[in-house]
Structure formats: C-alpha cells, structure tokens
C-alpha cells in the first residue's frame, strides 16, 4: 500500500506555555476527502495552521509526499502542491476578484487563464464580478473566492477550513458539489468543518477532534452512524 500523501505523527503544538494539540496522528491518502470535525475550540484550525507552516510544532512530524515539512518554509509549501482556503476567508478586499484569484497562482510560471476560467465554471458569479473589489462581495461570494484562489495553485492537497461557515444552505450545497468535483479531478482534500453531517456526507474518512486530541476516527459512513457522533455533532 502506498504511503499517505499527508502523514501527521505525534504532533504537539502550543501557544506560549499552553499546549493545545496533544500527540495528533492523522493521515490522508492520495485522492481522498478526509474531514476533521469537532466543536469550536477543539484544535481543528490549529492543526491546519501547522500543516501550512503558520504554527510551529513543539513535537512530532508532518510529511507531505514523503518530505518532512519541517524543512520547508511556509511560503514555499504552495510550490510543493499544498493550498489552503483559511478560516475567515482572508481575501484582499481592495483588490479585484480577478486579482485575488491571480494571487492564488503566484508561484506558478505558466499562464493562469485556463485555471481562472475553471474557477469561473465552478462559481459563475465570480466571473460576473471579476472586476469588482473583493471587499464588496457577499459572505458567500467571498467564500467562493477564497476557495477559487486556493484552486488557482493547482494543489495536490487542498486544505479547506470551515468552507460552509455562515453560508445559506443552498450555498453549502454548491460548495460541497465543488469539493466532490475537485476530488474527481484528482485533488486530495482535508476539510475542517463544524457542520459534521455536511462534511461526512462527502468524505471518505473522518477524524473527530476533542480538546486537542483525536477522539474518534474511521470511515465517514461509520462515523455518521456512531451514536457518540450522532449525539454530539449530528443532533440525533
């Protein structure tokens, strides 16, 4: 069996003296959608920040395609094939939609036009507003832009942090369709979500995080039917 595309082993990190992740083990195989679910404050976003290089590790290892990421600065990880749509979107409000998308491919040397049209195919409203300042978009449109900007990097691994947060149900469905479409094209995805049912409904496998630890893991189907998950996260 091939090694995972992303392999996290024994990960520990802290904010100052306070340890917030305690020996995390997570793997993501090539072509999978894997989701991290858990309550607000469980450590999901901190884990994503560790993968992208923003949050330093206290112990443990993160390997991407066999390469230890500890040796790779955060600004060079996109060149390896890692892209992130962060929590809070973090778009550049004074720049146009098209300029924001172009920034997603900053490390590439080839033409971005085809990929930009691909993003517009997923999110037609962005094409209509491509010359508008991104700060004037609605929350849902900004979320589309954040995901589109990450797609522009042609990632092998796409990290999505709370892609459905604050969105109307119809937009959540659209985002989930795009995630599924990306997987069909060979993109591997690690998705952080508080909306556990939405995330597990499209994922292959999942991890449940509680207070900085992995509490449960398994196939998405098994987690959806697990009484502990249903009671704590699915409202059942």
Residue 72 is assigned to a structural domain of this protein: yes
Residue 48 is assigned to a structural domain of this protein: yes
* Number of independent structural domains in the chain: 1
Q: Which residue in the block uniquely carries the two structure tokens 């900085």? A: 212
The two three-digit tokens of residue 17, written as one number: 């003296």
Q: What is the pLDDT of residues 32-74, one digit of tens each?
A: 999 999 888 899 999 999 999 999 999 999 999 999 998 898 8
Average pLDDT over residues 138-162: 91
Q: What is the pLDDT of residues 72-127, one digit of tens each?
A: 988 888 889 999 888 777 889 999 999 999 988 877 777 777 889 999 999 999 99
Residue 69 is assigned to a structural domain of this protein: yes
List the domain range (segments joined by +) for residue 188. Answer: 6-81+155-233
The two three-digit tokens of residue 145, written as one number: 């832009």
The two three-digit tokens of residue 83, written as one number: 């892209």
Residue 236: pLDDT above 90?
no
Question: What CATH number should be reported for the domain holding residue 46?
Answer: 3.40.50.300
Best CA proximity match to 21, nearest among 60, 52, 53: 60
The two three-digit tokens of residue 176, written as one number: 């989930």
Q: Would you state the pLDDT for residue 161?
A: 92
Residue 137 is assigned to a structural domain of this protein: no
Distance CA 209, CA 176 (A): 21
Residue 114 is assigned to a structural domain of this protein: no
Residue 54 is assigned to a structural domain of this protein: yes
Q: What is the pLDDT of residues 173-218, one digit of tens each?
A: 888 999 999 999 889 999 998 888 888 999 999 999 999 999 999 9
Q: Would you state the pLDDT for residue 79?
A: 85
pTM attached to this predicted model: 0.91
Average pLDDT over residues 117-144: 93
Residue 55 is assigned to a structural domain of this protein: yes
Residue 19 is assigned to a structural domain of this protein: yes
């Amino acid at each position: 069996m091939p090694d995972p595309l992303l392999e996290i082993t024994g990960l520990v990190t802290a904010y100052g003296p306070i340890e917030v992740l305690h020996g995390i083990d997570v793997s993501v195989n090539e072509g999978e959608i894997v989701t991290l679910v858990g309550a607000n404050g469980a450590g999901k976003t901190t884990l994503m920040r560790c993968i992208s290089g923003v949050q330093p590790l206290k112990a443990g290892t993160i390997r991407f395609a066999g390469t230890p990421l500890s040796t790779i600065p955060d600004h060079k990880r996109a060149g390896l094939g890692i892209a992130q749509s962060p929590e809070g979107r973090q778009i550049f409000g004074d720049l146009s939609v098209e300029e924001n998308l172009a920034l997603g491919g900053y490390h590439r040397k080839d033409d971005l036009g085809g990929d930009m049209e691909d993003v517009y195919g997923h999110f037609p409203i962005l094409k209509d507003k491509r010359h508008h300042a991104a700060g004037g978009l609605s929350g849902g449109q900004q979320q589309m832009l954040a995901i589109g900007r990450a797609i522009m990097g042609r990632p092998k691994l796409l990290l999505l942090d709370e892609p459905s947060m604050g969105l109307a149900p119809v937009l959540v469905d659209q985002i989930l369709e795009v995630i599924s479409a990306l997987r069909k094209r060979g993109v591997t995805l690690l998705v952080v979500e508080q909306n556990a049912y939405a995330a597990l409904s499209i994922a292959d496998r999942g991890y449940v995080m509680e207070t900085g630890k992995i509490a449960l893991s398994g196939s998405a189907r098994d987690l959806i039917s697990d009484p502990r998950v249903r009671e704590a996260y699915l409202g059942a």
